[in-house]
Amino acid sequence: MTDVSALNPCITCGACCAFFRASFYWTEADEQTGGTVPAHLTEPLTPHLVAMKGTTTAAPRCVCLQGAIGEQVHCSIYPQRSSTCREFPYSGENGQPNERCDKARAAWGLPPLITPSPSPVEPDSPAPPRAA
């Protein structure tokens, strides 16, 4: 059986949903303009932005995050989530690091998804000059 967490590490993480404020343009939570995010799960942030409820506090956790961080999680509005959530890549997705993913994971005691490359080894002493 395929280990889905190996394909998508977010399934066993969820740290970013309980670390950052998830804010986006208000129309994404407005049915009249084609928005998909349920408006009752958002709160106003500025005249133009709303945020997922639960993500604007000092100890954020999105109201839609289900499960235990670092174990097994899912987003209860996954197909309807905002562009902010959809466009947040996990570190290593498409071969690109994401420092913000690393930062959220670290805050929850989770290791970075990409092991940093070791620094190039410095020679102990300069190579001896070659004979001409």
26 belongs to the binding site for ligand SF4 (CB under 6 A)? no
Q: How big is the CA angle at 37 (ends 89 and 55), to the nearest 5 degrees?
A: 65
10 belongs to the binding site for ligand SF4 (CB under 6 A)? yes
The Cα 54–Cα 77 span in angstroms is: 14
**Residues between 38 and 97 that touch ligand SF4 (CB under 6 A):** 52, 62, 64-65, 75, 77, 81, 85, 88, 90
Report the nearest approach of ligand SF4 to the CB of residue 19 (Å). Answer: 7
Of 61, 64, 76, the C-alpha closest to 19 is 61
Strand partners, 68: 72
**Residues between 107 and 126 that touch ligand SF4 (CB under 6 A):** none
The Cα 95–Cα 90 span in angstroms is: 10
The position carrying tokens 């958002």 is 42
The position carrying tokens 């407005």 is 30
14 belongs to the binding site for ligand SF4 (CB under 6 A)? yes
Of the candidate residues 17, 29, 50, 51, the single one contacting ligand SF4 (CB under 6 A)? 17
Q: Which residues bind ligand SF4 (CB under 6 A)?
A: 9-10, 13-17, 22, 52, 62, 64-65, 75, 77, 81, 85, 88, 90, 101, 104-105
